[in-house]
C-alpha cells in the first residue's frame, strides 16, 4: 500500500516535470528579448504585428465557419440516428473515425487534385471557393470530435423519450427541435465547438497547402525567421488551447443530468 | 424503475406511425442524415479514393504498378522508415508513460485534485500540437534552450556534444511524446476506471497475489483499449507534419514532409508518385487498424 | 466449552475522526450461519471487510481456529467472499472464474477441471461452463460467484449483501439455495444484509447492528420475539406502538385510551403516571375476542387491504392505529371500513419499550 503510493507520486512527479519544463523554458525564453533583463518585449512585438492581427482574425473567422458547418452536418445526423435510424450507427461511427486514420495532408492533397480550377467543381478557381474549401477541410478534421460530443450529449438526455413525450403533448417537429432538443444538447454542441476552435486556430497543413493567410502558416513563418517571438507565440497558443478546454470544463458543469434513465 | 420502462413501451406503442405514414416519412428521415453523407462522400471519401486510384494510374490514365514500384527509391524508403520509427517510438513511449500516469492518478491513492488537474491538463496538452509545440521544444532543448543551457552550466553536460539534436529522430520523438502521453491519459483513464475494485478484492480472497491478479485479469481487460489507443497514437504521429516542419524544416525527411514538398513544388516531377506516397501513408495507418480489428475479434470474445 | 471457530474480539474501526465500528465482539461456531443485520452505515460491511482483511482494525483482534489473523493479508486468509455486484472477472469464462482460486495456488489442470465440474453441479448450472459473465443473468452470475468463492474450500465464507442487486423472486430462491449449499458443505458463513426477512429466514444467529455496535445477538426466534432494545424491536418486523399510562404499578395495570389492561410483571419499576410505549406484532393481535387472549381494546376499522392469503386491517384506537393480519376465508366477507371492532391479544406478547 505504502510503496504503491510512493510509485504513484514518483510517476506523477516525472510526468509533471516532463510537461512543465518545456512550458517554463518557453516562458523564460520568450522574456529574454531585451538583453540582460526579463521583459515582455517579444509579446509586444508579436501582438503589435499587423500580420499577427490579420492572420489571427482570419483563423478565428475560419474556426467560426467551421463550427457552424460542423453543427449543421453533425447535429441532424446524430439526432436522426438516435431517433429513427439506429441501423446506420456503425457506418456513421466508422466514417467519423476516418479523419483520425487518413492524415490531413492526404485529405487536402485530394482536394487540390479533385477541386482544381479545371475540375467540374472548381473550388480552387476563386478566393472565396478556396476559403470555403479550407473551412470544409477543417470540418472534416473536427468531425470525430464534434460527432462524439453531440452524440454523448444526445445519449445523456435520452432523445427518443424526450421526443416522444413532446409528440404526445402535441408538439410539432419545429417545436421539438428548437424547444426540446437544441436547448438540451446546446452544452454538448458548445463543447464540440470549443474543441474545434482549439484544433483549427493554429492548423498549418491545410492552410499552408491551400495558400490561405491563416495563423498556422504565419506561426511557421515567424519560427523560421525570428528568435524570441516564436516562444511568445507558443505561450499565446497554449493559453488559447487552455482557454478552450477550460470553457469546455465549465460548460460541462451546466450539462443536463439524466433524470430518468434506469441505470 | 419497472413502471418507468413499462410506460416507455406504452408510449412507443402508441406513437408508432401506421404503415402509410411511415412510407410518407421515409424521405424526411433520410433528409436528416443526407447532409452528413453527402459531405462525407464529397470531402472525405471521394478525395481519398481519387488519390488511391491515381496511385495505380499513369499520366494517360492507364492502370499501372509503376508508381508503387517507384516508391522503392532510397530517399522515399528512408522517409517511410524514419516516419515509422518516430511514430512507433512516440506511440509506444506515449502509451506506456500515459498508462503509468493514468494508473497513478486513478489507482495510486493520490489526492482527488491531482486526478482532475491531470485530466484537465491532458485535455489541453493533447491538443497542443503543431507549430507552437515545436517552438516550445526549441526553447527547451534547442542549442540555446533552457534545459540545454542548464544541463551544460550546472552539470557540465553538453547534450549536443554527446550527439543529441532536437532536429533528429530522438528530438522529434521526444517532442511528439508531449501530445501522445496526454492523449493516452485522456483515452485510457475511463478504461482504468472501469476496473472494478471488487475484482481485485475477489482475486485477493481467492488467494491471488497482486502480480497474478494483474496478469490474469487487469492486463487482459485493459489490453484491447490499450492496443486500440496505441494504434490511434501511431496514426496521429504518422500523419503529423506541422510540428516536424516547424522544428526541423526539411532537414528530417519524414513522409508527410516529403509529400508536402511534392504537393508544393512537385519535387519528384511526377504527380502520380505523390498519389503513391499518399497511398502508402493510408496503407500503413489502415494496416495498423486492420491488425487491431483482427486482433480484437480474435481474442476478445468476452467483449459484448 | 470448546474455543469458537471465529472470534471477533473488541474490534474497533475509525476512519479519521469518525468511528464506524466500536467495540464489536462476536464468537461464531464452526459450521454456523451468522447474519449481520442493520441499516446502511451501521458498520456491518466494515466488520465483514475486517474479517476479509480489506480493512485493518484500529483496535482489537480477529482469531480463526485459535490463530490471530488480524494482520494477515486478504490472500493469506483462506476466506471466500461474494460481493453485491457479483464481481466476476469479465475476461474469463464461467469455468475459468470458478477455477481462478485453484489456478493461482498451482493446482494441476485435471484437478481444477474436476473441482469446477463439481461446483457447477452444486449450483445447478452444469451447462454454463464456457459462457462469459455478460451472457448470464444476475442470479446466474451470483451463483457462479458463490461457486468461485467456495471452490478453493475456504474455512470461512463471507457474503456481502449478495442478494441486494437481484429481483425479488430470484432473491428468495437464491437465498434458499445458499443456505442449503452452506449446510451441505458445513462451511462457516457470515452474511451481511439490510433485509430483515432475509436474515430471519436463513440464519442460525443474527447480530443486529446499529451505530457501529451489536445491539443484540441471538437466534432469529429470539431477535423477533424478544427484542432486547427499542431499535431491534423497530427494525425487525412490523410493530404497532401504543401509548399507555401506568395507573397501578403494583398490580401492573396500564391505561390505554381509557381502557385498562394488565401487564403484570412487565413494568420494571415504573411509577404511577409514567407514560410507556407498548408494542405488539401484527400477528399477535386478533380481530374480535378470541379464546386464550386475555386482553382487549376497542376501536374502529380505518383501512382494509386485501393481500391475497391475508387481509391487513388497520384499527384506530384513540390517536394510534394498530395493524393486524387476518386470514382470508372465502366464505366470510372481509371487514369493512368504519365498523366498530374489538382487538384481542395476550398481555404476555406485549413488549414494553423503555
Whether residue C161 sits in one domain with residue C108: yes
Nearest to A103 among B5, B36, B256 (CB): B256
* A18 domain-assigned: no
Q: Which residue of A has its CA nearest to B36?
A: A73
Q: What is the pLDDT of residue C240?
A: 87
Q: What is the CATH number of the domain that holds C25?
A: 3.40.50.300
Q: Which residue has the cell 503529423?
A: B240
Whether residue C179 sits in one domain with residue C257: no
Nearest to B221 among C91, C100, C132 (CB): C91
**Chains with ≥3 Cβ pairs under 8 A against A?**
B
* C263 domain-assigned: yes
* A162 domain-assigned: yes
Q: What is the pLDDT of residue B110?
A: 85
CB contact under 8 A, A234 and B135: yes
Whether residue C195 sits in one domain with residue C182: yes
Residue B75 in contact with partner chain C when CB distance is under 8 A = no
Whether residue C155 sits in one domain with residue C58: yes
Residue to mutate among B61, B104, B197, B228, with most A CBs inside 10 A, is B104
Residue B5 in contact with partner chain C when CB distance is under 8 A = no
Whether residue C247 sits in one domain with residue C188: no
**Does residue A1 register a pLDDT over 60?**
no
C291/A239 Cα distance (integer angstroms): 88
CB contact under 8 A, C54 and B212: no
CB contact under 8 A, A21 and B245: no
Count of Cβ atoms closer than 10 Å to residue C169 Cβ: 9
Decide if C296 contacts C289 (C-beta within 8 A): yes
Taking contacts as CB-CB distances below 8 angstroms, the residues of chain A near B136 are 22-23, 25-26, 231, 234, 238
Residue to mutate among A1, A10, A103, with most B CBs inside 10 A, is A103
CB contact under 8 A, B199 and C87: yes
**What's the DSSP call for residue B42?**
I
Q: What is the pLDDT of residue C251?
A: 80
Stretch A5-18: mean pLDDT:
91
Percent of chain A with pLDDT over 90: 45
C299/C324 Cα distance (integer angstroms): 13
How is chain A classified by DSSP, letter by letter? -HHHHHHHHHHHHHHHHHHHHHHHHHHHHHT--STTS--SHHHHHHHH-HHHHHHHHHHHHHHHHHHHHHHHHHHHHHHHHHHT-GGGHHHHHHHHHHHHHS-HHHHHHHHHHHSSTTSSS-GGGSHHHHHHHHHHHHHHHHHHHHHHHHHHHHHHHTHHHHHHHHHHTT--HHHIIIIIIHHHHHHHHHHHHHHHHHHHHT--HHHHHTT---HHHHHHHHHHH-SSHHHHHHHHHHHHHHHHHHHHHHHHHHSPPPSS---
Q: Domain count for chain C, please give it.
A: 2
**pLDDT band (50, 70, 90) for residue A216:** very high
**pLDDT band (50, 70, 90) for residue B29:** low
- Show the domain range for A167: 61-254
Q: What is the pLDDT of residue B58?
A: 85
Q: Domain count for chain A, please give it.
A: 1
Residue to mutate among C95, C100, C105, C157, with most B CBs inside 10 A, is C100
**pLDDT band (50, 70, 90) for residue B304:** low
Q: What is the pLDDT of residue B22?
A: 46
Whether residue C24 sits in one domain with residue C146: yes
* C25 domain-assigned: yes
* A262 domain-assigned: no
CB contact under 8 A, B217 and C92: yes
* A150 domain-assigned: yes
* A30 domain-assigned: no
- List residues of C whose CB lies inside 8 A of any B CB: 52-54, 73-81, 83, 85, 87, 89-93, 100-101, 103-105, 132-134, 145, 148-149, 152, 154, 158
Residue B199 in contact with partner chain C when CB distance is under 8 A = yes
Q: What is the pLDDT of residue A262?
A: 39
For the ranges A181-185, B52-56, C102-106, the lowest mean pLDDT is seen at A181-185
Name the grid cell of A120. Answer: 467540374
Q: What is the CATH number of the domain that holds A169?
A: 1.10.3720.10
* A13 domain-assigned: no
Taking contacts as CB-CB distances below 8 angstroms, the residues of chain B near A199 are 127
**pLDDT band (50, 70, 90) for residue B3:** very low
Per residue in C119-170, pLDDT tens? 999 998 999 999 999 999 999 999 999 999 999 999 999 999 999 889 888 9
Q: What is the pLDDT of residue B178?
A: 94
**Chains with ≥3 Cβ pairs under 8 A against B?**
A, C
CB pairs under 8 A between B and C: 83
Q: What is the pLDDT of residue C111?
A: 94
CATH number of B73-299: 1.10.3720.10
Per residue in B211-266, pLDDT tens? 999 999 999 988 888 998 999 999 999 988 999 998 877 778 899 999 998 888 86
- Show the domain range for C304: 240-353
Q: What parts of chain C have a pLDDT lower than 50?
A: 1
* A34 domain-assigned: no
Q: Which residue of B has its CA nearest to A6?
A: B108
Torsion of CA A135, A136, A142, A148, to 10 degrees: 130
Residue A84's closest CA among B10, B37, B38, B27?
A: B27
CB contact under 8 A, B220 and C132: no
Q: What is the pLDDT of residue A21?
A: 92
Last residue of a domain, one of C216, C235, C254: C235
**Does residue B108 register a pLDDT over 50?**
yes
A250/C198 Cα distance (integer angstroms): 46
**pLDDT band (50, 70, 90) for residue B168:** confident
Per residue in A236-245, pLDDT tens? 999 998 998 8
For the ranges A38-47, A194-203, B264-273, the lowest mean pLDDT is seen at B264-273
Whether residue C142 sits in one domain with residue C73: yes
Count of Cβ atoms closer than 10 Å to residue C289 Cβ: 10
Count of Cβ atoms closer than 10 Å to residue A182 Cβ: 14
Better pLDDT: B98 or C2: B98
* A19 domain-assigned: no
CB contact under 8 A, C134 and B198: no
Stretch A38-55: mean pLDDT:
91
Q: What is the pLDDT of residue B267?
A: 65
Q: What is the pLDDT of residue B268?
A: 65
Taking contacts as CB-CB distances below 8 angstroms, the residues of chain B near C134 are 302, 304
* C1 domain-assigned: no
Domain boundaries, chain B: 73-299
Residue B198 in contact with partner chain C when CB distance is under 8 A = yes
Whether residue C65 sits in one domain with residue C206: yes
State ipTM. 0.87
Kindly list the distances between the CA atom of residue A247 and the CA atoms of A183, B117, B189, in Å, as whole numbers in the listed order: 18, 15, 21
Q: What is the pLDDT of residue A256?
A: 66
**pLDDT band (50, 70, 90) for residue B145:** confident
Amino acid at each position: 500500500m505504502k510503496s504503491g503510493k510512493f510509485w504513484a507520486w514518483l510517476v506523477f512527479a516525472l510526468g509533471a516535470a516532463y510537461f512543465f519544463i518545456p512550458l517554463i523554458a518557453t516562458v523564460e525564453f520568450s522574456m529574454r528579448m531585451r538583453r540582460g533583463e526579463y521583459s515582455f518585449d517579444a509579446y509586444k512585438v508579436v501582438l503589435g504585428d499587423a500580420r499577427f492581427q490579420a492572420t489571427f482574425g482570419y483563423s478565428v473567422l475560419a474556426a467560426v465557419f467551421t463550427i457552424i458547418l460542423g453543427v449543421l452536418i453533425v447535429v441532424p445526423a446524430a439526432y436522426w440516428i438516435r431517433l429513427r435510424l439506429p441501423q446506420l450507427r456503425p457506418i456513421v461511427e466508422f466514417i467519423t473515425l476516418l479523419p483520425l486514420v487518413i492524415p490531413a495532408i492526404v485529405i487536402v492533397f485530394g482536394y487540390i487534385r479533385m477541386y482544381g480550377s479545371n475540375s467540374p467543381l472548381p473550388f480552387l478557381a476563386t478566393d472565396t471557393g478556396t476559403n470555403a474549401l479550407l473551412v470544409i477541410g477543417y470540418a472534416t478534421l473536427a468531425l470525430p470530435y464534434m460527432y462524439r460530443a453531440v452524440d454523448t450529449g444526445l445519449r445523456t438526455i435520452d432523445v427518443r423519450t424526450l421526443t416522444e413525450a413532446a409528440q404526445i403533448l402535441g408538439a410539432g417537429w419545429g417545436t421539438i427541435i428548437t424547444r426540446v432538443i437544441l436547448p438540451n444538447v446546446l452544452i454538448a454542441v458548445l463543447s464540440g465547438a470549443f474543441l474545434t476552435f482549439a484544433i483549427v486556430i493554429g492548423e498549418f497543413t491545410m492552410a499552408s497547402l491551400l495558400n490561405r493567410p491563416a495563423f498556422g502558416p504565419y506561426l511557421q513563418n515567424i519560427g523560421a525567421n525570428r528568435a524570441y517571438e516564436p516562444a511568445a507565440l507558443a505561450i499565446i497558443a497554449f493559453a488559447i488551447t487552455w482557454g478552450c478546454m477550460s470553457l469546455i470544463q465549465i460548460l460541462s458543469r451546466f450539462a443536463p443530468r439524466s433524470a430518468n434513465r434506469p441505470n | 424503475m419497472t413502471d418507468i420502462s413499462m410506460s416507455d413501451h406504452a408510449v412507443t406503442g402508441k406513437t408508432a406511425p401506421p404503415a402509410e405514414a411511415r412510407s410518407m416519412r421515409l424521405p424526411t428521415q433520410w433528409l436528416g442524415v443526407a447532409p452528413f453523407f453527402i459531405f462525407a462522400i464529397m470531402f472525405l471519401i471521394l478525395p481519398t479514393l481519387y488519390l488511391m486510384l491515381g496511385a495505380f494510374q499513369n499520366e494517360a490514365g492507364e492502370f499501372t504498378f509503376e508508381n508503387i514500384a517507384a516508391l522503392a527509391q532510397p530517399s522515399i524508403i528512408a522517409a517511410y522508415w524514419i516516419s515509422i520509427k518516430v511514430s512507433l517510438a512516440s506511440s509506444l513511449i506515449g502509451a506506456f508513460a500515459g498508462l503509468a500516469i493514468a494508473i497513478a492518478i486513478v489507482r495510486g491513492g493520490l489526492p482527488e485534485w491531482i486526478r482532475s488537474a491531470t485530466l484537465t491538463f491532458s485535455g489541453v496538452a493533447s491538443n497542443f500540437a503543431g507549430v507552437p509545440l515545436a517552438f516550445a521544444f526549441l526553447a527547451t532543448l534547442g542549442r540555446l534552450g533552457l534545459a540545454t543551457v542548464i544541463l551544460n552550466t550546472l552539470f557540465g553536460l553538453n547534450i549536443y556534444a554527446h550527439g543529441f539534436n532536437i532536429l533528429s529522430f530522438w528530438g522529434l520523438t521526444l517532442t511528439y511524446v508531449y501530445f501522445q502521453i496526454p492523449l493516452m491519459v485522456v483515452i485510457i483513464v475511463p478504461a482504468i476506471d472501469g476496473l472494478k475494485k471488487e475484482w481485485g478484492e475477489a482475486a485477493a480472497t481467492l488467494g491471488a497475489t497482486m502480480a497474478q491478479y494483474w496478469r490474469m485479469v487487469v492486463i487482459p481487460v485493459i489490453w484491447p483499449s490499450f492496443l486500440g489507443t496505441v494504434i490511434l497514437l501511431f496514426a496521429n504521429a504518422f500523419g503529423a507534419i506541422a510540428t516536424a516542419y516547424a522544428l526541423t524544416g526539411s532537414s528530417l525527411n519524414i513522409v508527410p514532409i516529403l509529400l508536402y514538398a511534392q504537393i508544393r513544388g512537385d519535387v519528384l516531377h511526377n504527380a502520380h508518385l505523390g498519389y503513391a506516397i499518399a497511398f502508402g501513408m493510408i496503407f500503413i495507418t489502415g494496416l495498423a487498424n486492420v491488425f487491431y480489428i483482427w486482433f480484437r475479434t480474435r481474442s476478445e470474445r468476452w467483449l459484448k | 466449552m470448546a474455543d469458537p471457530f471465529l472470534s471477533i474480539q473488541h474490534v474497533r474501526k475509525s476512519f479519521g475522526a469518525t468511528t464506524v465500528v466500536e467495540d464489536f465482539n462476536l464468537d461464531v461456531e464452526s459450521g454456523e450461519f451468522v447474519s449481520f443485520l442493520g441499516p446502511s452505515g451501521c458498520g456491518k460491511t466494515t466488520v465483514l471487510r475486517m474479517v476479509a482483511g480489506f480493512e485493518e482494525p484500529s483496535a482489537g483482534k480477529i482469531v480463526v481456529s485459535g490463530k490471530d489473523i488480524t494482520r494477515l493479508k486478504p490472500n493469506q486468509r483462506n476466506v471466500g467472499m461474494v460481493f453485491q455486484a457479483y464481481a466476476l472477472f469479465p475476461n474469463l469464462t464461467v469455468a475459468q472464474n470458478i477455477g481462478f482460486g485453484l489456478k493461482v495456488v498451482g493446482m494441476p489442470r485435471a484437478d481444477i477441471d474436476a473441482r469446477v465440474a463439481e461446483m457447477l453441479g452444486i449450483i445447478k448450472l452444469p451447462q454454463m461452463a464456457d459462457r462469459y459473465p455478460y451472457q448470464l443473468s444476475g442470479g446466474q452470475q451470483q451463483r457462479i460467484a458463490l461457486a468461485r468463492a467456495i471452490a478453493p474450500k475456504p474455512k470461512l465464507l463471507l457474503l456481502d449483501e449478495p442478494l441486494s442487486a437481484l429481483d425479488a423472486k430470484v432473491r428468495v430462491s437464491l437465498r434458499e439455495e445458499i443456505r442449503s449449499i452452506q449446510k451441505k458443505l458445513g462451511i462457516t458463513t457470515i452474511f451481511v444484509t439490510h433485509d430483515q426477512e432475509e436474515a430471519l429466514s436463513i440464519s442460525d444467529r443474527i447480530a443486529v447492528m446499529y451505530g457501529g455496535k451489536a445491539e443484540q445477538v441471538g437466534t432469529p426466534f429470539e431477535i423477533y420475539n424478544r427484542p432486547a432494545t427499542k431499535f431491534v424491536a423497530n427494525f425487525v418486523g412490523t410493530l404497532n406502538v401504543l401509548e399507555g399510562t401506568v395507573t397501578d404499578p403494583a398490580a401492573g395495570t396500564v391505561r390505554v385510551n381509557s381502557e385498562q389492561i394488565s401487564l403484570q410483571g412487565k413494568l420494571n419499576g415504573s411509577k404511577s403516571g409514567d407514560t410507556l410505549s407498548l408494542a405488539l406484532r401484527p400477528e399477535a393481535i386478533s380481530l374480535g375476542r378470541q379464546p386464550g387472549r386475555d386482553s382487549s381494546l376497542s376501536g374502529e376499522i380505518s383501512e382494509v387491504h386485501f393481500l391475497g392469503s391475508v387481509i391487513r386491517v388497520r384499527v384506530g384506537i384513540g390517536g394510534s392505529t394498530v395493524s393486524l393480519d387476518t386470514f382470508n376465508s372465502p366464505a366470510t366477507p372481509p371487514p369493512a371500513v368504519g365498523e366498530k371492532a374489538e382487538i384481542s391479544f395476550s398481555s404476555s406478547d406485549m413488549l414494553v419499550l423503555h
